[in-house]
Amino acid sequence: MIREFSSNEVWFLVQALRWTVLLTLIAFACGGLVGLGIAILRVSEVRLSRAFALGYIKMFQGTPLLMQLYLLHFGSSLVGIVANAWLSAALALTLYASAFLGEIWRGCIRAVPRGQWDGAHALGFSHLQQLRLVILPQAVRIAIPPTVGFLVQILKGTSLASIIGFTELTRAAQMVNNATFRPLIVYGLVAGLYFCLCWPLSLLSQRLERRLDWEQVPTLKVPVQ
């Protein structure tokens, strides 16, 4: 029995949006925490921790997000945890986000001029103090635009959680489509909903980046003496 596509279905999809948003926020918050650790390891003075962080980043950047989801989902039952789509999706997206954010933030830390490290060193700060008190506060400003940009990637990435059976927006669309069989309308609407979330973030990221460029012009003009 085929159901009509009505306002009920639209409402069902809009409601499913909260799971997409929630999953995004969890992955972003947890991924950010782990990612900060990865970024710090990546600029560490110890060679081994730099190598570990590099391997971690390469491993996640060189494999499909879908496979990371599958491995956590099918792997969790092997270690005795009942496979739970919520948990697998949140964990996989957290790890994925941590690797990418770690690499993005490493770039931002590296973008802080070398002289700032030397200056902090001259003040007698330890490596971690140099990072915490001098480098990171300056790197944060550079990091905001690409971080907001990556938030869009996480948001889009949550759609893959539908494949392991987590009911977020894309999975809700599949359910509605199975009942109404109006794929063009259903997926068109869902694409529109994703767009409404992602586009403002993309625009914000671009604007912040332009403002940062503009702000940095005067400092670049300071003559070297």
Distance from C-alpha of 158 to C-alpha of 28, rounded to nearest angstrom: 11
Work out whether 190 is an interface residue with another protein (CB under 8 A).
yes
Q: Name which position in 24, 98, 170, 205 contacts another protein (CB under 8 A).
A: 170
Distance from C-alpha of 203 to C-alpha of 194, rounded to nearest angstrom: 14
Beta strand ranges found along 99-147 (DSSP E)? none
Q: Name which position in 59, 123, 128, 133 contacts another protein (CB under 8 A).
A: 59
Q: What share of the chain is helix, strand, coil (3-state, %, to 5)?
A: 85, 0, 15
Least distance in angstroms from the C-beta of 218 to another protein: 24
Work out whether 88 is an interface residue with another protein (CB under 8 A).
no
Q: Name which position in 183, 207, 212, 215 contacts another protein (CB under 8 A).
A: 183
Work out whether 81 is an interface residue with another protein (CB under 8 A).
no
Q: Which segment (44-52, 117-125, 135-143, 169-177) binds another protein by CB under 8 A?
A: 169-177
Work out whether 94 is an interface residue with another protein (CB under 8 A).
no
Please give the C-alpha separations between residue 101 and each of 44, 45, 146, 161, in angstroms, as whole numbers.
16, 20, 9, 20
Q: Which is nearer to another protein, 94 or 162 (CB)?
A: 162
Q: Is residue 78 within 8 Å of residue 33, measured between CB atoms?
A: no
